[in-house]
Structure 1
Amino acid sequence: MDNNNPPEKRITVRPEDAKPQIFRTLRNIDLNLLTIFEAVYVHKGIVNAAKVLNLTPSAISQSIQKLRLIFPDPLFIRKGQGVTPTAYALHLHEYISQGLESILGALDLTGSYDKQRTITIGTPPSIGALVIPIIFQAIKEHAPHLMMRNIPINDAENQLSQFQTDLIIDTNIASSRTLNHHVLYSDRMMLVCRKGHPCLNEPINEAVLQKYEHTLLMLEGQKLSGLRQRVQDLFPERQVSFSSYNVFTIAALIGNSDLLGLMPTRLFKLFCGCWPLVEIDFPPLSSERVDISLYYNKLSLRDPVLENVINVIRQAF
Structure 2
Amino acid sequence: MSDLSKSELRRLDLTLLLIFLGLVRHRKAADVATDLGLTPSAISQALQRLRAVFKDELFLRHPYGLEPTATALALEQPVAQAVEALRGALGTARAFDPERAEGIVRIAALDGEQAVLVPPLTARLRAAAPGLRLSVLPFGRGQAAEALSDGRADLMLGVLWEPDPAMSSQLLYEEGFLVAGRSKALPQAPQVTLDDYCNADHILISPGGDLRGIVDTALEALGRSRRIVLGLPAFLPALAVAARCDAIVTLPARVARSFAPGFGLVLAEPPLTIRRFNISVFWHRRNDRDPRILWLRQQLAAIIP
| Larger Rg belongs to | 1
Q: Shared fold (TM-score greater than 0.5)?
A: yes
Cα distance in structure 2, aligned partners of 1:191 and 1:282:
6
CA-atom RMSD in angstroms:
3.9
Q: State yes or no: 1:134 paired with 2:117.
A: no
1:223-234 aligned within 5 A: 229-234=217-222
Aligned to 2:281: 294
Letter in 2 for 1:298: R
Aligned to 1:46: none
- Partner of residue 137 from structure 2, selected from 151, 167, 174: 151
Q: State yes or no: 1:124 paired with 2:110.
A: yes
Aligned to 1:182: 170
Cα distance in structure 1, aligned partners of 2:269 and 2:294:
42
Summarize the Cα distance change of 1:190–1:235 in structure 2 as closer, same or farther, 3 Å threshold: farther
The number of aligned residues is 221
Summarize the Cα distance change of 1:245–1:112 in structure 2 as closer, same or farther, 3 Å threshold: closer
Summarize the Cα distance change of 1:111–1:147 in structure 2 as closer, same or farther, 3 Å threshold: farther
- Partner of residue 252 from structure 1, selected from 240, 244, 262: 240
Mark the runs of 5 or more structure 2 residues left unpaired by the alignment: 1-38, 54-86
Q: Report if the CA contact (8 A) 1:127-1:169 is conserved.
A: yes
Q: State yes or no: 1:305 paired with 2:292.
A: yes
Residue aligned with 2:286, SS = helix
Q: Report if the CA contact (8 A) 2:117-2:300 is conserved.
A: no
Aligned to 1:237: 225
Q: Report if the CA contact (8 A) 1:138-1:313 is conserved.
A: no
Cα distance in structure 1, aligned partners of 2:194 and 2:261:
28
Cα distance in structure 1, aligned partners of 2:285 and 2:180:
38
TM-score by length of 1: 0.57
Q: Report if the CA contact (8 A) 2:168-2:288 is conserved.
A: no
Q: Report if the CA contact (8 A) 1:122-1:153 is conserved.
A: yes
Identity of aligned residues (%): 16
Residue aligned with 1:175, SS = coil
TM-score by length of 2: 0.59
Letter in 1 for 2:264: P
Letter in 2 for 1:261: V
Summarize the Cα distance change of 1:15–1:205 in structure 2 as closer, same or farther, 3 Å threshold: closer
Q: Report if the CA contact (8 A) 1:156-1:173 is conserved.
A: no
Aligned to 2:156: 168
Cα distance in structure 2, aligned partners of 1:273 and 1:238:
24
The superposition leaves residues 113-133 of structure 1 with CA deviations (integer Å, 9 ceiling, x where unpaired) of 734122111212332121112
Q: State yes or no: 1:264 paired with 2:257.
A: no
